[in-house]
Amino acid sequence: MTIGWEILEVGEQALVYNHGGEARIECGPKRLFLWREKFNRLTRFSADQNQYLVIIYKDGNVDHFQGPYAMFLNPIEHSRVEVNNCESLDANEALVVYKQTEKETNRYVLYGPTLFMPAANEWLHLFVWHGTDPKSKTRMIPGTHRFNKLKIIPDQFYYNVDEVRTSDDALIRIKLMMFYELTDVDLMLNSTTDPMADFINCLSADVVAFASKRTYMSFINQSDALNELNSYPQLLERCKAIGYSVTKVVFRGYFTHDRLQKMHDWAIERRTNLKIEFEKEGQQQDMVDLNLKNEMERMKQEQKMELEELKHQQEMEVTQNAHTLEMEKRIHGDKLQKLKKDWTAELSKKMIENQKTCDHLFQLAGLGVDLTQFLVNEQNTPGSITKVVSGDKSVVLHLHQTSLSDTIDSISGDQVYKR
């Protein structure tokens, strides 16, 4: 109990108890005189637009008020007042919210972007998954990843599968990187509590199954198959069952024991040297083949050029001969044409002369002239001379002349007859 003056500023409140235990609330601005009374200044709580107040009453009830909101903690009614931040969700995030009603508990998924304030009868699902070791990004620790906001965009994680044994008892560590995406939130919530654990177990099982069927060298030669999704059947089946899709698994390499690695490095070096020598020899052979091929192509080209030149010469000769023959043919044709014209003129002349002669003879015949005698007289020289020379007087020669109707029956001795 105090006696004296108390001042309340603007926006302040106080709880005043009298000597009988009764209490009243005083609001400022005010100047109070206390007489045998107890003065308790109340604490003010305020929430902005991104916050909300949680008010817990002494009777157990709880209320949530979204900001902007302000109130004073009344110790008579309130147990405590808390200022909490609203859950802000991006477009690629979601919240799993549980709501308690009088009959049952319901669950729903809230997708962003939004600003969420849970009601008094609502609470958020807390995910507890395997998380990445801060000291090594390829090692996962159980229960270290705790969160409320669920990412629904493609994501990835690194993981090393240790102590993988091949069929010839070689121990290796396989480095992987997995890309995945959440496609069904409800199926994930109903099927698993830790998808990362399922990913790790399935990856390990598939890799162990892959390596156990192969020797160390065959694993190295076929390790690129670990980049294909069909090498992870258990992973694909499990992801489909828990609402995830695997887009890609990347094989990042492997690691083995130092001695085995040295032996493998030596073998790689040896194979590399042999490969280099093989490639060098192959390149030399290819160069020889290329030179021979070029030489053959050059010879074929030269032969082709010579053949084309010969064909050209032959064509030129044929063309020249054809031109010469054509010119000779033209000259000969001109000569024949000229001879034909000359002969034609000569024949025409003779025909005209013969026609004139015939006409003259017809005229003479019409006048009663003996044409035979006329024609004989027209000839200054005999038409023919027959000479028979014989020393034998007994030889008899018979001549028959059809021309001019003259006939010599017989001659004897050495005589010459004219006609």
Q: Tens digits of per-residue pLDDT, 302-340?
A: 999 999 999 999 999 999 999 899 898 889 888 888 888
**Local confidence band at 275 (pLDDT 50, 70, 90 cut-offs):** confident
Phi, psi of 328 (to 5 degrees): -60, -40
d(CA 156, CA 146) in angstroms, rounded, equals 17
- Average pLDDT (163-174) is 87
Confidence check: pLDDT of 400 > 90: no
Q: Note whether 246 and 142 are same-domain residues.
A: yes
pLDDT of residue 168: 84
Report if residue 264 sits inside a domain. no
d(CA 272, CA 87) in angstroms, rounded, equals 59
**Local confidence band at 414 (pLDDT 50, 70, 90 cut-offs):** very low
Neighbours of 93 (CB within 10 A): 19
d(CA 49, CA 71) in angstroms, rounded, equals 15
Q: Note whether 152 and 172 are same-domain residues.
A: yes
Neighbours of 286 (CB within 10 A): 12
Burial of 55 (0-12, 13-18, 19+ CB in 10 A): buried
pLDDT of residue 271: 78
Q: Note whether 360 and 399 are same-domain residues.
A: no
Joined tokens for residue 281: 């020899």
Q: Note whether 326 and 406 are same-domain residues.
A: no
CA 237 vs. chain centroid, Å, equals: 31
d(CA 391, CA 255) in angstroms, rounded, equals 146
Instruction: Quick: pLDDT tens for 200-248.
Output: 999 999 999 999 999 888 888 898 999 999 999 999 999 999 999 999 9
Q: Note whether 324 and 386 are same-domain residues.
A: no
**Closest by alpha carbon to 173, among 138, 199, 214, 131?**
138
What is the percentage of the chain residues whose pLDDT exceeds 70? 87
What is the chain's mean pLDDT, rounded? 85
Local structure of residue 391 (DSSP, 8 states): S
Report if residue 137 sits inside a domain. yes
The more confidently predicted of residues 57 and 169 is 57
**Closest by alpha carbon to 250, among 341, 160, 377, 362?**
160
**Closest by alpha carbon to 130, among 121, 122, 139, 119?**
139
Q: Note whether 211 and 308 are same-domain residues.
A: no
The domain of 186 spans 127-256
Confidence check: pLDDT of 419 > 60: no
Looking at 211, 236, 256, the residue that finishes a domain is 256
Q: Note whether 137 and 235 are same-domain residues.
A: yes
d(CA 140, CA 132) in angstroms, rounded, equals 5
Q: Which helix (H) or strand (E) holds 201?
A: helix 195-212
Report if residue 67 sits inside a domain. no
Report if residue 48 sits inside a domain. no
Q: Are strands 244-256 and 171-182 parallel, antiparallel or unpaired?
A: antiparallel
d(CA 133, CA 249) in angstroms, rounded, equals 20
Q: Note whether 390 and 295 are same-domain residues.
A: no
Instruction: Quick: pLDDT tens for 30-83.
Output: 888 888 888 888 999 999 999 999 999 999 899 999 989 999 999 989 999 999
pLDDT of residue 54: 95
Looking at 256, 274, 298, the residue that finishes a domain is 256
pLDDT of residue 416: 41
pLDDT of residue 136: 86
d(CA 49, CA 85) in angstroms, rounded, equals 9
Instruction: Quick: pLDDT tens for 140-150.
Output: 899 999 999 99
Joined tokens for residue 257: 């024991």
DSSP 164-190: EE-TT--EEEEEEEEEEEE--HHHHHH
Which pTM value belongs to this model? 0.58
Asked whether the CA dihedral 227, 232, 233, 237 is positive or negative, the reply is negative
pLDDT of residue 411: 41
d(CA 59, CA 160) in angstroms, rounded, equals 54
For 339-366, letters b (16+ CB in 10 Å) and e give: eeeeeeeeeeeeeeeeeeeeeeeeeeee
Identity of residue 234:
Q
Report if residue 314 sits inside a domain. yes
What is the percentage of the chain residues whose pLDDT exceeds 90? 47
The enclosing domain of 215 has a CATH number of 3.30.479.30
Helix, coil or strand: residue 191: helix
Q: Note whether 207 and 324 are same-domain residues.
A: no
Tokens 């390790």 belong to 223
Q: Note whether 151 and 243 are same-domain residues.
A: yes
What does R_g of the chain's alpha carbons equal in angstroms? 68
Query: How many domains, the chain?
Result: 3
pLDDT of residue 1: 61
**Local confidence band at 406 (pLDDT 50, 70, 90 cut-offs):** very low
Output the CA–CA distances (angstroms, integers) from residue 329 to 261, 318, 340, in the order listed. Answer: 96, 16, 16
Instruction: Quick: pLDDT tens for 109-127.
Output: 999 899 999 999 999 999 9
Report if residue 394 sits inside a domain. yes
Q: Note whether 183 and 222 are same-domain residues.
A: yes
Report if residue 34 sits inside a domain. no
Report if residue 269 sits inside a domain. no
Instruction: Quick: pLDDT tens for 352-376.
Output: 988 888 888 888 888 887 778 777 7
Helix, coil or strand: residue 98: strand
Phi, psi of 270 (to 5 degrees): -65, -45
Q: Note whether 190 and 244 are same-domain residues.
A: yes
d(CA 286, CA 295) in angstroms, rounded, equals 14
d(CA 74, CA 43) in angstroms, rounded, equals 8
